[in-house]
A and B are shown apart, each in its own frame.
Chain A
Amino acid sequence: MMMSHLRAAMALTGMAALGLLASPALQTRNQKDRQILHALNRLTFGPQPGDIERVEKMGLRNWIEQQLNPERMSQNPELAVKLQPLETLAMVPGEIVERYPNRPLVQQIVNGRRPLPSDLFLRAVVENMVFRFETRKAAKAETTSVVSADSSQEATPPEPLEPLRRYLDENRIQALRQGSRADKETILAALPPDQVDSILIAMPPALRKKLMPAAPPSMRRRMMLLDAPQRAVTYDLWEGKTYRAIYSDRQLAEVLDDFWFNHFNVFLDKGQDLYMVPQYEREAIRPHVLGKFRDLLEATAKSPAMLFFLDNWESVGPHSRAAERANGKTKKRGLNENYARELMELHTLGVNGGYSQKDVIEVARCFSGWTIQQPRLGGEFAFNPNMHDTGAKFVLGHKIQAGGMEDGEEVLDILARHPATAKHISFQLAQRFVSDNPPEALINRMARTFLEKDGDLREVMKTMLDSPEFWSDAQYLAKIKTPFEMAVSAVRALDADVDDAFALTNRIASLGQPLYRKQEPTGYSSVAADWMNSAALLARLNFSLALARNQVPGIHVDTTRLSENPARLLLMREPSAQTVDAMRQALDAQKPKTAEEGRQYLAGLVIGSPDFQRH
């Protein structure tokens, strides 16, 4: 035992262990591998062990062709299994509101305009919400009349445990309240299936919240339902995106989904958007990422998520029946320019794309009446002719006078085919895939393809991937990974199994990139300077160590294969001399107790190294 640990530690400290051996034969292979690694770095969420060999075998060109045609590829069957429990991802907004009730729905039930759900658990959820709503009201009334002068010290009443005692003995209750995480996990996993719902309902809310990280996913979902049903939607989105990035074989499609969602960013936590985002991503973004830009643009323009996020659903044209009827009285609702402005500034022409404030107003008039039916209950897109401005409009030199929903569609036609749009989109793509400062010549070539091929995004990607700029030495490892890219690429490089992505997605949020929660319509930056600062780097270092040491719950890392050359194996290239030196010092300074501990420590150091932050 002693002996083998020692040998393992020695092997680790040796030159070979740190990837310093590079024979001439290996070097030539490296030259070839380099192109493959570059493609894997930029077109996937990071290479997995064996990927380089796999691509080499099928040929880099064939691999790219395959990634550009995801619909012809088979999909990793494991992914469907991971996604299956995340049920809201497959639902339309109205369905989510019904299954994961929000306040407006509960209010309808309270007012008798909607029956209580027939599903018993869902009924408990609704009753819980009604109860909470009413106790909050009552509690407020009470604080306002009795509380002592020092009302800052709000006394929290002891949690009622009586209902729980009907199902669990005192020991287990104590363990659930104060035990170790492992104790909690064991007890929760062993609850009798026919009693789980009753037990969860009987738990005081604070206890449920505390136990959430220790609960298996299906139980956690029911816990969320009881306390904050909306959170389940957030987590479905977070986990779904993370699973797809880690497990999908259609890697480029996932990277593009991330890119285009971000290009047409909506913020999950702006009111009702929460319920609309799953459908938005599924129906407005994903089907079009390698299709025609015009289709993608219209799909986002008509999506409840975008209409709500940028307020167009409320926009009333000054020359509309609704405005005339209001006649300056009642609630003032007028033209809202938000969508019109971002449509041109961010989605199409770009900030210097040659439009004026007058164009913004004219475009806003064209889109007045593009609204949502019953937005609070998860409604769908609707055109409301009463809100539509029927007068003639002039947009970028075009006269638009159809007078109905076609006005907005005509604007989309103009914008989708505008040369400024071709350039803006090409710039954005090149910045994400090639360089923080993409070369002008490349942008121009991509823009030409965009215009010649009627905004065919697959063709634009091909132009980029055929360019010398994409493959130039200067771009190799030139981009800094975003927090999401960093976390996912680490999981992939470690070939870790993710059974439960809940904790991982929370870590990604604390790395500085909470998914679907970028407040600004600009989306997240893909530029290095925006991601590198002290707090963010410390978060990356701590995440790296925790991940490799199996301290991120739900992820299982097996470092057995990393007993030699951990840096080479995780980076899939030679590590920098500085990283190698530091790791050698690490082993000199601290002798690991077991070989596994040593491997985990080194793996954590590699993931946190400067080398791993670039791709």
Chain B
Amino acid sequence: MYSRRFFLKSSAVAMFGAGAVPGWLSRAVYAANTPARRKKVMVAIFQRGAADGLNIVVPFGEKRYYAMRPSIAIPRPDGGPLSAVNLNGFFGLHPSLRPLKAIYDQRQLAIVEAVGSPDPTRSHFDAQDYMESGTPGAKSTPDGWLNRALPPDTSAGGSPLRAASFGPELPRSLRGHNDAVAVSALRDLKVADTSAAGVFESMYGASKDQMLNGTGRETFEAMKMVESIEKRPYTPEGGASYPSSRIGQNLAQIAQLIKADVGLEVAFTDIGGWDNHVNEVGGKVSEGALANVLNQFGQALAAFHMDLGDRVQDVVVVTMSEFGRTAHENGNRGTDHGHANVMFVMGGDVRGGQVYGDWPGLADHQLYEGRDLALTTDFRDVLGEVVSRHLGNRDLGRVFPGYTAWNFRGLMV
């Protein structure tokens, strides 16, 4: 009783008047005092266009790599800015990802090699579709894996911001039964006309139409929640500096939502610019299309990690791309559509500082269909491990229907 009265006095609650306090808000207020109420969050980043895993995490210990990519290989680590950043004596990061090395060393970044979707398609469209539905080979799966990954919501009046994506449309990964919000930017989540907003709120709030009443309440809760977040100027922690590109801004907003304790559990964003058939690597390895996109990607991830501060304990970021690229370079200093790839898993719960997965090798007979890196880890093993061990959703049969050959890599603490 006492504490409830106390909370009602707090200014955030006063905003809503003395009526029913929305569930998310009491959670948020509690959270400020009792960290135990914090939600576990999974952030999925989709690299659209098929990222070239072999030049992102470079197998510099593999001679064949240099033979296959005479003009676009990343040189062996020499400590300088134009060579791979040594991770473990065999693999190294592309030099544009140098900001991630510190996180790897802190054991909060794990790398999974030779991972991806077992489906043989080399169509961007189909492969993205399969990876996002979480059901390679099955086209008509109606919903996405990240939506199904949400643990069943047992609390009454769950947060309307449990699932959010940043972009104009709800991505395939997040579509489905659980409500998910798609916004280009948080500030768009409102009724532009404030007096009309009040009228709509009372219309929907009083409506006898159960469904519209429920959605309406959630909507106005979400709107106020975002409004109160947006009111305060946001200063990232630890001097973290997000790049001004879309990926940087999206991750900044995800961090903002996480730290505001509004009940976010899964978030999604994507980044394009990976489909480099031509001039993937420039005159220097720090230049060219891949270096450009990796600069954005690496800076954004590093800023996000820094900004989370101790909240990193609650967050796991997973990156994925629909397939990898050919092991050999093509005739235009680029690469074509391939098969297996690399994934990053970053967060406090992660057993980082290691490269996971069996390395299949790059000899001709070791390549998939004689041309691509072979697959040794199914992407669902990586996602499934995070979903069950971090989000706590053990019902993987529902999250990834049809998949039974589970083989967790031990990525999570």
Using a CB–CB cutoff of 8 Å, the interface residues on chain A facing chain B are 137, 140-141, 143-145, 147, 149, 151-152, 154, 267, 270-271, 310-311, 332, 338, 341-342, 345-346, 351, 480, 510, 512, 514, 519-522, 525, 528-529, 532-535, 537-538, 541-542, 545, 576, 578-579, 581-583, 585-586, 589-590, 601, 604-605, 608-610, 613-614
Contacts and interface: CB of A to CB of B under 8 A. Distances in A.
A578 B206 contact: yes
Contacts of A154: 292
A541 B196 CA distance: 9
B211 A585 contact: no
Contact of B191 (A147, A346, A538, A582): A538
A534 B179 contact: yes
Contact of A578 (B208, B223, B281, B286): B208
Contacts of A583: 199, 203
Interface string B201-222: 0111011110111011011001
Given A520-B142, A610-B209, A582 B126 contact: no
Contacts of B283: 144-145
Contacts of B161: 534
B278 A480 contact: no
Instruction: Give the contact-size bracket for chain B.
Output: 35 or more
Interface of B: 123, 125-126, 129, 138-142, 160-161, 168-170, 172, 177, 179-183, 189-193, 195-200, 202-204, 206-209, 211-213, 215-216, 218-219, 222-223, 243, 245, 278-279, 281-283, 286-289, 291-292, 295-296, 299, 333, 369
A581 B289 contact: no
A541 B206 CA distance: 16
20 contacts: A140-B278, A141-B279, A151-B292, A154-B292, A512-B170, A528-B211, A532-B211, A534-B215, A534-B223, A537-B215, A542-B192, A545-B191, A576-B208, A578-B207, A583-B203, A585-B199, A589-B195, A609-B200, A609-B203, A610-B216
A104 to B, nearest CB: 15
A590 B199 CA distance: 11
Contacts of A137: 278
B41 to A, nearest CB: 18
B292 A341 contact: no
User: How would you classify the secondary structure of chain A's contact residues: helix, strand, loop or mixed?
Assistant: helix
The 9 closest A-B pairs by CB, nearest first: A144-B282, A578-B206, A582-B203, A610-B212, A534-B219, A145-B283, A586-B199, A533-B179, A610-B207
B100 to A, nearest CB: 16
B245 A152 contact: yes
A608 B202 CA distance: 12
Contacts of B141: 520
B139 A310 contact: yes
Contacts of B195: 586, 589-590
A143 B287 CA distance: 7
Nearest to B215: A532
A545 B196 contact: yes
Contact of A582 (B123, B169, B206, B333): B206
B355 to A, nearest CB: 27
A520 B140 contact: yes
B160 A534 contact: yes
A49 to B, nearest CB: 23
A152 B243 contact: yes
